[in-house]
């Protein structure tokens, strides 16, 4: 398909080239026939006071002889009196009238020119120039056919050579970092060779000035289109930068801005993520390039944190030691670095303690490990007699009846023992194995589809 598009482009441009080139000889010939009057001197000519009637006769004869030799001005009548030239008669168009007036003004001894032409509406006078012009154009085109054919063949040959060089994708992939840049360079080479072929063809036809005018107009149009499509251009340039300096690998667990998921692939327009709930998320590369990227997969060690509160009357140091003993007793918590804790805040009725521990994400799931650590720490604190404070609400009753505690003398009624429910046995072993379902979905999609991917394990990751 790329070869077909290239051939179609070259053929279309060459045909336009031929059509424009065929018009150039006509324009040149017409320009040669219509000679514009030379610019007059800035100073007005001096009127000769010794001019006589014989001078007027000479001027009239001179103008009649000139008009008889110019096609379209044969019917112009000339009268000269005291250097004033009067031009009358039927004429085909305003251009011929202006031309006759300009010729008369250039004759020496003419003071001024008065014109009183009539429009010639005869069919022959008006149709004949058009037919002659068309015939001349056709004749020029037929005469230029061999030259046009050579220019066309040269343009096609250069374009095909560029297509052959651009289609050597193996070479471009070796000299570029990724397939995206290889395709970009190959396409640029193809376009450059096509333009060079067209330039050579126009040079053969002696019409390179036309190419400059076309390229100038194309540059202005391209600038306007660039402003209109600046977001698209920004996204395209971001794709190039991401493909060269890759911030993540396939199946990395990342947070891009506020979007979290695993990387499926990087395309020329967008980054595809699979969210943790199994949905596809497409983020434009311009957004990815400008966003803050948090990669959870780069470092397998990750710290979890949580906060627990104890009663204000309890010893916070003893609570910290109890909680750290419980956390460090879990197999999924790393010994290096070891777990830590600090007093976060002292409130009116509680002391808030922050606990931190490290896990290896290759062996443990972060959310599961954090939940298990919270559970064992809470149970250890409660079993050691530390009270986890509960919310305290103060109720106020306005204008209510007084409450009187009634003493019945019944010891059993006074001494009420509230027994706490017996806690069930707490499991000490938790399932913290990594959750790999989304990771398997990404691997399955990457292996099952042939979509282009700019991520390359051979390239460095920032």
Query: Which residues have CB under 8 Å from 439's CB, separation 6+?
Result: 251, 262
Identify the band that residue 3 occupies on the pLDDT scale cut at 50, 70 and 90: very low
According to DSSP, the β-strands at 84-91 and 112-119 are parallel
pLDDT the model gives residue 296: 92
Identify the band that residue 117 occupies on the pLDDT scale cut at 50, 70 and 90: confident
| 304-327 tens-digit pLDDT | 999 999 988 889 999 999 999 999
**462 pLDDT more than 90:** no
Q: Which residue has the higher pLDDT, 78 or 417?
A: 78
| 403-439 tens-digit pLDDT | 544 444 444 433 433 344 434 334 456 788 888 888 8
Measure CA 62 to chain center.
Answer: 69
pLDDT the model gives residue 54: 73
**7 pLDDT more than 60:** no
Identify the band that residue 44 occupies on the pLDDT scale cut at 50, 70 and 90: low
pLDDT the model gives residue 399: 66
Distance separating alpha carbons of residues 214 and 414, to the nearest angstrom: 106
pLDDT the model gives residue 8: 47
According to DSSP, the β-strands at 301-311 and 280-284 are unpaired
Contact of 77 with 87, CB cutoff 8 Å = yes
Domains annotated on the chain, with CATH: 2-19+128-227 (no CATH), 53-110 (no CATH), 301-398 (3.30.70.100)
pLDDT the model gives residue 432: 85
* Weakest mean pLDDT among 40-44, 128-132, 239-243: 40-44
Identify the band that residue 376 occupies on the pLDDT scale cut at 50, 70 and 90: very high
According to DSSP, the β-strands at 340-346 and 350-360 are antiparallel
Structure tokens that stand for 447 in this block: 């292996």
Output the CA–CA distances (angstroms, integers) from residue 326 to 134, 304, 320, 331, in the order listed.
Answer: 101, 15, 10, 11
* Weakest mean pLDDT among 108-122, 182-196, 376-390, 426-440: 426-440
The pTM is what? 0.55
pLDDT the model gives residue 34: 38
Identify the band that residue 63 occupies on the pLDDT scale cut at 50, 70 and 90: confident
pLDDT the model gives residue 392: 65
């Amino acid at each position: 398909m790329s070869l077909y598009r290239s051939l179609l482009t070259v053929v279309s441009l060459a045909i336009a080239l031929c059509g424009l080139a065929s018009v150039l000889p006509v324009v040149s010939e017409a320009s040669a026939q219509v000679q514009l009057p030379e610019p007059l001197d800035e100073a007005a000519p001096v009127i000769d006071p010794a001019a006589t009637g014989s001078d007027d006769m000479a001027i009239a004869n001179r103008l009649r002889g000139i008009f008889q030799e110019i096609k379209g001005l044969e019917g112009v009548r000339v009268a000269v009196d005291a250097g004033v030239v009067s031009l009358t008669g039927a004429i085909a168009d305003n251009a011929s009238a202006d031309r006759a007036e300009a010729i008369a003004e250039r004759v020496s001894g003419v003071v001024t020119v008065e014109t009183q032409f009539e429009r010639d509406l005869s069919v022959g006078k008006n149709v004949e120039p058009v037919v002659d012009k068309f015939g001349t154009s056709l004749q020029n085109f037929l005469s230029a056919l061999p030259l046009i054919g050579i220019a066309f063949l040269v343009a096609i040959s250069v374009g095909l050579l560029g297509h052959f060089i651009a289609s050597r994708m193996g070479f471009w992939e070796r000299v570029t970092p990724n397939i995206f840049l290889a395709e970009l360079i190959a396409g640029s080479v193809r376009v450059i060779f096509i333009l060079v072929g067209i330039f050579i063809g126009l040079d053969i036809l002696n019409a390179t000035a036309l190419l400059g005018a076309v390229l100038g107009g194309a540059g202005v149009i391209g600038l306007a289109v660039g402003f209109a499509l600046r977001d698209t251009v920004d996204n395209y340039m971001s794709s190039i930068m991401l493909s060269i300096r890759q911030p993540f690998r396939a199946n990395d667990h990342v947070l891009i801005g506020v979007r979290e998921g695993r990387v499926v692939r990087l395309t020329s327009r967008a980054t595809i993520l699979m969210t943790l709930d199994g949905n596809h998320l497409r983020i434009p590369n311009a957004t990815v390039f400008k966003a803050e990227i948090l990669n959870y997969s780069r470092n397998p060690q990750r710290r979890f944190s949580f906060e627990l509160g104890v009663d204000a009357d309890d010893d916070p140091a003893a609570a910290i030691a109890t909680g750290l003993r419980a956390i460090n007793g879990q197999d999924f918590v790393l010994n290096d670095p070891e777990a830590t804790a600090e007093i976060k805040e002292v409130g009116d009725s509680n002391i808030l303690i922050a606990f931190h521990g490290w896990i290896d994400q290759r062996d443990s799931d972060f959310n599961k490990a954090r939940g298990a650590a919270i559970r064992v720490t809470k149970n250890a604190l409660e079993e050691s007699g530390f009270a986890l404070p509960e919310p305290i609400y103060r109720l106020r009753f306005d204008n209510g009846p007084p409450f009187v505690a009634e003493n019945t003398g019944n010891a059993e009624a006074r001494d009420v023992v509230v027994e706490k429910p017996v806690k069930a046995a707490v499991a000490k072993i938790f399932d913290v194995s990594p959750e790999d379902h989304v990771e398997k979905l990404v691997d399955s999609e990457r292996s099952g589809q042939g979509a282009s991917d700019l991520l390359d394990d051979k390239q460095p990751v920032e």
